[in-house]
Chains A and B, each alone.
Chain A
Amino acid sequence: MRRLFGQARERERRDELLSAYLDGELSAGELVRLEAQLVNDPALQAELDALRQTVALVRDLPQIPSPRNFILPQATPSRPRSAPLARPRRAWAAPLLTAATAVVSLLFVALLSLDLLLPRMAGNLAFAPEPQMAAETPQEMPVEQEAPAEMPPAAPDEAEVGADRAPEEEKAISPVMGGGGLTATPTPLATTLAAAERSGEGADHWDSVSEEPAEVAPPPVEEESPEPPESEVIGAAQPASRRPLEIVLGLIALTLALATVWAWRARRRC
């Protein structure tokens, strides 16, 4: 046991000498003695070579730069003096941009919502009174008959649909509100067709359905015909005029959002 401990101690002493020899830290006497041993002992020379190679490998390791805050002494200020001035400037920019982004985004959403909701509301308001008018005042029907070119493209189809059932269902359809455009639009044309048939075949059959056949066709009221229905104006023209504003607001909101993200990141980096 004592022998093993002595061998380990001897080996340790030998490694210490070899290590110091590599670094040139041996005294003159130690240096002479070691070089003499190296000449006579190939195993010791091999140990020296292995140790030299180990040191060379460690010295050839790639150098990794230390973080700045790791190598700076505590007394050194961590930043140049101009840096604290830059931080407050970014500090208020980020919240301000956030608020601006929120405001513009809300405006954008509100405008979009208006565009989506207004046409529906306007459509309900515009279609609601029309059937009543058709039922109550048949005098106005020829007006729309005279201006078929100004009607929207879908109107003739709807008129035909209405015309097929109009003679029989005229009175029944008019008060019904659930049909919307289909119940409102076809009524005048259907009545006109009915009037045309009446003039050709005889009014006896139609008198049982409509109470005032003679007054339907003749009186053309031209003042109301050129104006398109108010629902078309509200539903189509206004959203189109707001579309550029929506696009601009959307772009501004997007730009502000990007700038906000950048500002918060810059603030965290400081």
Chain B
Amino acid sequence: MARLIQAGIETLPPGQRVTLALSDVQGMSYQEIAEATDISLGTVKSRLARARAKLRDYLREQGELLPARYRLG
């Protein structure tokens, strides 16, 4: 399953991928991400939202590969 999620993350554009990793993997706040990547707070918000939405859609497409309890509705 980790491979599937990793593959989904790799489909994202670099900017969205970095923002997602800093937020959901590293646990950084929007403000910290904005400072670390030198982008505005609004861009962080939109990039993170797009990254999560794309990953959700990817996991929905690959839903049959996921265990039942991890399948998205």
Interface residues of A (CB under 8 A from B): 12, 15-16, 18-20, 23, 25, 46, 49-51, 53-55, 57-59, 61-63
A18 touches B49 (CB 8 A): yes
B24 touches A55 (CB 8 A): yes
B6 touches A55 (CB 8 A): no
The secondary structure that dominates the A interface is: helix
- Which positions 43-73 of chain B face chain A at CB distance < 8 Å? 45-46, 48-50, 52-53, 55-56, 59-60, 70, 72-73
A12 touches B50 (CB 8 A): yes
Contacts of B20 in A (CB 8 A): 58
- CB within 8 A of A54: which of B23, B50, B52? B52
Interface size class of B (residues with CB under 8 A): 20 to 34
A61 touches B6 (CB 8 A): yes
User: Considering the chains assembled together, what is the distance between the CA atoms of A16 and B2 in angstroms?
Assistant: 25
A54 touches B73 (CB 8 A): no
A54 touches B2 (CB 8 A): no
Q: A15-B49, A55-B24, A57-B59 are in contact. List 14 more A-B contacts (CB 8 A).
A: A12-B49, A12-B50, A15-B50, A16-B45, A19-B49, A20-B49, A50-B73, A51-B53, A53-B70, A54-B55, A58-B9, A58-B55, A61-B2, A61-B5
Contacts of B48 in A (CB 8 A): 19, 23
User: Considering the chains assembled together, what is the distance between the CA atoms of A63 and B2 in angstroms?
Assistant: 11
B52 touches A15 (CB 8 A): yes
- CB within 8 A of A49: which of B9, B24, B50, B73? B73
User: Considering the chains assembled together, what is the distance between the CA atoms of A58 and B56 in angstroms?
Assistant: 10
A25 touches B30 (CB 8 A): yes
Contacts of A62 in B (CB 8 A): 2
B72 touches A53 (CB 8 A): yes
A57 touches B5 (CB 8 A): yes
User: Considering the chains assembled together, what is the distance between the CA atoms of A51 and B54 in angstroms?
Assistant: 10
B49 touches A61 (CB 8 A): no
- CB within 8 A of A50: which of B23, B24, B72? B72
User: Considering the chains assembled together, what is the distance between the CA atoms of A20 and B70 in angstroms?
Assistant: 22
A45 closest partner in B (C-beta): B73
- Which positions 1-46 of chain B face chain A at CB distance < 8 Å? 1-2, 5-6, 9, 20, 23-25, 29-30, 45-46
